[in-house]
Structures are given as structure tokens and as C-alpha cells.
Amino acid sequence: MNDGKHSGGERRDPCGDTGLPPPGQLQPPPMTTTSDRACASGTLVADGDRWLLMMTHGRSILLDVAPLDPSLTHQAVSIAGRMRVPSDARRDAALGVERLVRHEEIAQRAYAIYQLDRGGSPSDHWLRAERDLLALSSAGDRPRNVRTTAATGAAARPRNGLVR
């Protein structure tokens, strides 16, 4: 499930119905700061001491994130955060990562949702799981927790696999 598609072969919208801009619209406005929420889905790539999120169609986003576990390189992930535009024109804009969840974790949560509620499509289950794990409400509220589950490992996940 980490290929950007659910079992039906359709492409998932990583932002779901959260009201956040889709990944293709993550370019920041020409200003020094922005509070616009964003979410994106893609593959993590280490570029020296920087991390990039490689998305479809060859697009990439520079990530503003604390050092991540090197085992996350080439992992499919979904990210929620805010675009950060530095005042120094020599620096690149970056997505400030507030939550990062591996697609493997989203797939496990989506399956748990399917088992609890047999209604809905695989895409519905995926989007709900992604929203839950990224700690987003359907209104696009600020994440409840800013730690990254993928970087902190199993300790960041509740024992029963469900978000509290």
C-alpha cells in the first residue's frame, strides 16, 4: 500500500477532506512567513543533511524537520505541517513537519477501521486512517501532537493500534 494507491487502483488524496491544499499546491506565497496548513504524501529521500519529500510527477519538497532515523530513507509517508519561508532569500522554503506517518502505519490503521466498520470504500478507510494518524480533524485543525510517529517508533503508537 505504499505505492500511492489503495487496493482499488485509484490515487488517494493525502489531504482527504481536511480543507488543506493538495500536494501539487504546496508552493508558498511570496512572503517571509506563512501559517497555511499543508499536507503531502510521497517518498522520503535524504540529500546530505537535508530531507526531501519526493512526490509524483518529479516534484519534491524540502522538509524542515529534526534529524530523522536513516531507516526512513525511501519510505512512503504522509506529512502534515506548515510552509516556512525564510527571510533570507538564499535559503529555500520548506515544509515544517508537524506530523509524519509511514504509509505502512496508515495501511494498518485503515485495516483496523475496515474491521470495525465494514461500510465505506478502501479509499474512505485510508483517508480516515491518515487523518487520525496525522491528528487532523475534518476541519483541518492544528495537529494535537507534533512528534513524528515514524521517527519515534512503536512507542508513539497506542498499544491497541487505535488513535485515542
3-state helix/strand/coil string of the chain: CCCCECCCCCECCCCCCCCCCCHHHCCCCCCCCCCCEEEEEEEEEEECCEEEEECHHHCEEEEECCCCCHHHCCCEEEEEEEEECCCCCCCCCEEEEEEEEEHHHHHHHHHHHHHHCCCCCHHHHHHHHHHHHCCCCCCCCCCCCCCCHHHHHHHHCCCCCCCC
Q: How many structural domains compose the chain?
A: 1
pLDDT at 35: 56
Is residue 84 included in any domain, yes or no?
Answer: yes
pLDDT at 154: 33
**Residues 70-79 pLDDT 10s:** 889 999 999 9
* CATH assignment at residue 36: 2.40.50.140
User: Which residue range(s) make up the domain with 127?
Assistant: 23-156
**Residues 120-149 pLDDT 10s:** 889 999 999 999 999 875 444 443 333 334
Which residues of the chain are under the pLDDT cut of 70? 1-35, 89-90, 137-164
Is residue 149 included in any domain, yes or no?
Answer: yes
Is residue 14 included in any domain, yes or no?
Answer: no
Is residue 9 included in any domain, yes or no?
Answer: no
pTM of the model: 0.61
